Amino acid sequence: MESPPEKIVRKGRLEPGKMFLVDLKKGQIVNDEELKHVLATAHPYGEWLDTFMVPLADLPPAPEVPGPDHDTLLQRQIAFGYTLERLEVHLGPDGV
């Protein structure tokens, strides 16, 4: 469906990382820069970071992760619905 040229406000492609908002109530298009400014200033994100950020060095050490349990592998594969076909075709070296 073609629009008459006099109704076209802006032409172009939406570039990667860019966005726009069509406000139907106000009848306007909000461009990328304005939209990102409104979103970035909507809350005190900088204050929140200063208040709540925890340095990685202050975190407790990660819990020990148990190694794989080879004795129950077949039982777990059956429980989660893995079939021989899925293992060979989908998860094999040539699987998609």
**Three-state secondary-structure class, residue 28:** strand
pLDDT for residue 58 is more than 80: yes
Show the domain range for 29: 12-52
Is 58 inside any structural domain? Answer: no
Is 61 inside any structural domain? Answer: no
How confident is the model over 1-41, as pLDDT tens digits?
788 888 887 788 889 999 989 899 998 889 999 999 999 99
Is 96 inside any structural domain? Answer: no
Is 45 inside any structural domain? Answer: yes
> What's the confidence (pLDDT) of residue 65?
92
Is 38 inside any structural domain? Answer: yes
Is 60 inside any structural domain? Answer: no
Could you give the number of structural domains in the chain? 1
CA distances from 37 to 48, 64, 92, 93 (A): 18, 43, 47, 47
Is 86 inside any structural domain? Answer: no
